[in-house]
Amino acid sequence: MTRLSPPAVVPPAHRALAGVLNALGCFTFWGLFPIYFKLLEHVPPLEVVAHRILGSALILLALVVLQGRGRALLTDFRNHRRLGFYAITSLLISANWLLYIWAVQQGRILEASLGYYINPLVNVLLGVLFLRERLNVRQWLAVAIAVLGVLALVIGQGVLPWIALTLAFSFGGYGMLRKKAGLNPTLGLAVETLLLAPVALLFLAARSGGVLGMIDGQTDALLLAAGLITVAPLLMFLEAGQRLRLSTVGLIQYLTPTLQFLLAIVIYHEPFTGVHRVTFGCIWLALALYSGDAWAGHRRTANARPD
pLDDT: is 113 or 241 the higher one?
113
Q: What is the pLDDT of residues 226-277, one digit of tens each?
A: 999 999 988 888 777 777 766 567 678 888 999 999 999 999 999 999 999 9
Judge whether 34 and 264 are in contact, CB under 8 Å.
yes
Q: What is the pLDDT of residues 203-216, one digit of tens each?
A: 999 998 888 878 88
Q: How far is CA 72 from the centre of its chain?
A: 25
Residue 296: partners with Cβ closer than 8 Å, 6 or more residues away: none
DSSP 8-state class, residue 209 = T
Neighbours of 281 (CB within 10 A): 13
| Average confidence (pLDDT) over 140-154 | 88
Q: How confident is the model at residue 298 (pLDDT cuts 50, 70, 90)?
A: low
| Average confidence (pLDDT) over 79-84 | 88
Strands (E), 62-162: none
> So what's the pLDDT on residue 187?
87
> So what's the pLDDT on residue 245?
67
> So what's the pLDDT on residue 265?
95
Q: How confident is the model at residue 180 (pLDDT cuts 50, 70, 90)?
A: confident
Residue 183 has pLDDT above 50, yes or no: yes
Tell me how many degrees the CA angle 224-230-235 measures, rounded to the nearest 5. Answer: 130
Closest by alpha carbon to 257, among 89, 121, 155? 121
> So what's the pLDDT on residue 122?
83
End-to-end CA distance of the chain: 40
pLDDT: is 264 or 123 the higher one?
264
Closest by alpha carbon to 108, among 56, 169, 163? 163
> So what's the pLDDT on residue 1?
44
> So what's the pLDDT on residue 226?
94
Residue 2 has pLDDT above 80, yes or no: no
What is the Cα–Cα distance from 282 to 144, expressed in whole angstroms?
A: 10
| Average confidence (pLDDT) over 143-151 | 88
Residue 151 has pLDDT above 60, yes or no: yes
> So what's the pLDDT on residue 305?
58
Residue 142 has pLDDT above 70, yes or no: yes
Q: How confident is the model at residue 126 (pLDDT cuts 50, 70, 90)?
A: confident
Tell me the average pLDDT of the chain.
85
> So what's the pLDDT on residue 4?
47
What is the Cα–Cα distance from 166 to 103, expressed in whole angstroms?
A: 11
> So what's the pLDDT on residue 58?
95
> So what's the pLDDT on residue 7?
46
Q: How confident is the model at residue 301 (pLDDT cuts 50, 70, 90)?
A: low
Q: What is the pLDDT of residues 26-66, one digit of tens each?
A: 899 999 999 999 999 999 999 999 999 999 999 999 999 99
